[in-house]
Amino acid sequence: MDHYRKLERMYLTSNMNTQLYETTQMTVADETATISMAIDSKYFHALGAIHGSVYFKLLDDAAFFAVNSIVKDAFVLTTSFNINITRPVSEGKITATGKLKFKSRNLFVAESTLVDEKGREIAFGTGNFAKSRIALTEEIGYK
């Protein structure tokens, strides 16, 4: 679907992702999104594993795009997001999968899980999202 490909391009060409996460891959489908990334030591904290901010970003982004997969006219906003980190990871590839769990006129709830390349869950999260007044346009990378 064209909407999904536009969301993927918007994500992959954003400044944050081109500067920090250049090995990222993404797929958006109906009510789901998957983001994969190769681990690099530049994301490590002092103990030699990925910093929690990377876990948070991937989980939030996967949940966000699962929601935006069904909102076709506007950008959605994260209003809250909670994560639980269950194990450290320092090598290989990690994959976040977001799924829409609830939708109403003004509120969306999505969950996401983060797994290592062996399929072991390393973190999970749940977030609330709201439709913004910002239209999905080429000016914000939706093309």
Instruction: State pLDDT tens for residues 70-112.
Output: 999 999 999 999 999 999 999 999 999 999 999 998 899 999 9
Q: What percent of the chain has pLDDT over 90?
A: 86
CA distance 116 to 119: 5
pLDDT tens-digit readout, 48-66: 999 999 999 999 999 999 9
CB count within 10 Å of CB 22 equals 11
Confidence of residue 68 (pLDDT cuts 50, 70, 90): very high
- Find all residues with CB under 8 Å of 133, minimum gap 6, and list them: 74
| CATH code, residues 2-140 | 3.10.129.10
| Mean pLDDT across 18-25 | 76
Whether pTM exceeds 0.85? yes
Per-residue model confidence (pLDDT) at position 19: 74
Residue 17 pLDDT: 79
Parse the chain into domains and list their residue ranges: 2-140
CB 139 within 8 A of CB 12: no
Structure confidence at residue 1 (pLDDT): 84
pLDDT level of residue 116 (50, 70, 90 thresholds)? very high
* 68-104 CB burial, b ≥16 within 10 A, e <16: bbebeeebbeeeebebebeebbeeeebbbbbbbeeee
Q: How many CB atoms lie within 10 A of CB 21?
A: 20
Confidence label for 16 from pLDDT (cuts 50, 70 and 90): confident
